[in-house]
Chain A
């Protein structure tokens, strides 16, 4: 056996998987555990600051001005829709309808962009109109400034994830378009889907904590 070409043999060994799922998928799961813990840390900070005696937290429903939670509820809906369309990408790819898979992928990316757009609009409104003390030392915050601080760090960190997700999905889309991703290899799309669903799931948590409770 020693005569066998080492690298050839090694190539045949790469991709050997003990658990029957791909390395990529396992890696993504592990990555998501770690990401979930980062969010958990931020949420724990939020919880501690909010439910501390004398924290003077406003009722979120009243505190967001005209963008309110209605707009964010709509935004949540859009994000969930883009998660659903992500499922379609995979489903169509498995059926071999690459054209449709591409269309659903575009739809998913579009959903992410709309989400970011609405969030940007909301942030602008909050920074400019609602919380003048952010810029102007003269203004007193009407209530605990931690309301805004935790809001920005949680929604901001999530928004960063959405942005990364949009780019990620765009790369997948380009892969689909150039034919690098074929109907036989669904793992790339599946892994991207894991990430995107995770971002969606975390948003539901963040939305619940920051806006609803």
Chain B
């Protein structure tokens, strides 16, 4: 519990993330059960319902996806660059231990019967002391500030680690793509998260000292749109904080399971950097409906659509990597390819939303909900699964059960679509998001979505059971568990020893050809033990 070994901290992160995913999942199932049919059902208190989507989103975004990626990265990044640990092991531990108290604060409203009802975006004036005069809301805001502190400390640590702790011979443009993804993500966190913190600080002051601070309340000369600008200046980049690590994981999985080197490595890196830079220039596409000037909206629309270009490059590179490879469809690869197919749907619905006239129609409808979930569930969640299955043998020294893994994949992939695909239709027909009840005409589609969500939720227990059982009883994995792993983490024992390497590793550029690991001159990097 208080080890400073990055690998163990990584596992702590993963355990924490799993709990929060279950918690967020339960909330989402409650939401879906309530919406399964028209009229009130399991929730009699509309105001309780009103709080659920926001609490669900907060749990999933801030306490599940981001920590889950941080967890895997803690385990993998130092090893991939040949370092014994992170640059600041104690800071690393501190960053983790900020999270549980932050979660308790954020969700304290549940114990105090004072749940904030302003969604995960907390727009004022809804979130100010006039409309949300409850303690639960204050705790929520402070909880989020703490998560921000935790993730910025983590980012500082990753950057110092990647820039300064690489083993001999490894240049930046030789980093494995997952490590690159974490580097770019850390920059995003560093530049974006503090802006959210500044907005939340102002919100806190406005809530604590009513009548004195009016940052966002127009009654005292404040500007509610200012909050949205600051919030989205964080939260748009945040969507890439939630997907770039996944991109990195998929790059690793696809190369190993296609037994080929990544196609267009340099382009892959630059497209990630381009996505990150563009990510800072598109935030106002969340604000098309706020009445900002048309010229500004059109500019943001153009920049938003531009993001499709580097994203397309990445998709193309993954496909080209698979092209002509001898592909093995183990569970991680299933998740990686499933992600490719379904993330494309999410990206396309994003481009649709980016178009100003369309967005005016679809904003705050279920279409946005469908878009979010195709990118976050079919994107971030599936890549996270790809990564966890992929590195499970490295982390535990044992294989998971492949059959259960495949069952888990197919149930997950199918029921993600059952749950979320109909939501596109609901949104186009005009069903608003975050409402307690809806027009009876929407009943069938909502029922489909609800059934899908329940199965999707239950299917995750297969994963948990598989992991728990395999930790003890799985087939023993050797160092290079997949046989074709060629980054440094596959050159050491599974699980790795305390400081990862027994002696200083060095990195040597390798001939990129398609051979097995026991033949010399193959794809992998040398580390003699």
Chain A residues close to B by CB (< 8 Å)? 1-2, 4, 6-7, 9-10, 12-14, 16-19, 21-23, 26-27, 30-31, 33-35, 37-42, 44-45, 48-49, 52, 55-56, 133-134, 137, 144-146, 148-150, 152-153, 157
Contact = CB atoms under 8 A, between A and B. Distances in A.
29 contacts: A7-B499, A9-B503, A13-B84, A14-B84, A14-B85, A17-B165, A22-B164, A23-B87, A23-B88, A23-B160, A23-B164, A23-B165, A27-B160, A30-B155, A30-B160, A31-B152, A34-B194, A37-B194, A37-B195, A44-B195, A49-B222, A146-B222, A148-B212, A149-B205, A150-B215, A152-B205, A152-B213, A153-B215, A157-B201
A115 B152 CA distance: 29
Which secondary structure dominates where chain A touches chain B? helix
Nearest to A42: B198
Contacts of B215: 45, 49, 146, 149-150, 153
B481 to A, nearest CB: 20
B402 interface: no
Nearest to B191: A37
B502 interface: yes
A33 B502 contact: no
B439 interface: no
A55 to B, nearest CB: 6
A41 B529 CA distance: 50
Given A42-B198, A148-B212, A9 B220 contact: no
Contacts of A17: 164-165
Interface residues of B, number: 54
B214 A149 contact: yes
A140 to B, nearest CB: 12
Contacts of B155: 30, 34
B221 A55 contact: yes
Contact of A27 (B87, B191, B501): B87
A105 B469 CA distance: 58
B212 A149 contact: yes
Interface in B186-204: 190-199, 201-202
A13 B191 CA distance: 31
Contacts of A1: 502-503, 528-529
B330 interface: no
B221 A56 contact: yes
B87 A38 contact: no
B156 interface: yes
Contacts of A40: 194-195, 198
Contacts of B156: 27, 30-31, 34
B255 to A, nearest CB: 24
B435 interface: no
A5 to B, nearest CB: 9
B328 interface: no
Given A42-B202, A149-B214, A26 B226 contact: no
Contacts of B166: 18
Contacts of B165: 16-18, 23
Given A6-B498, A9-B499, A34-B193, A18 B198 contact: no
A6 B212 contact: no
Nearest to A18: B166
B127 interface: no
Contact of B195 (A14, A19, A41, A56): A41
Contacts of B198: 38-42, 44-45
Nearest to A131: B212
A144 B219 CA distance: 11
B440 interface: no
A1 B529 CA distance: 6
B223 A52 contact: yes
B379 to A, nearest CB: 26
B147 interface: no
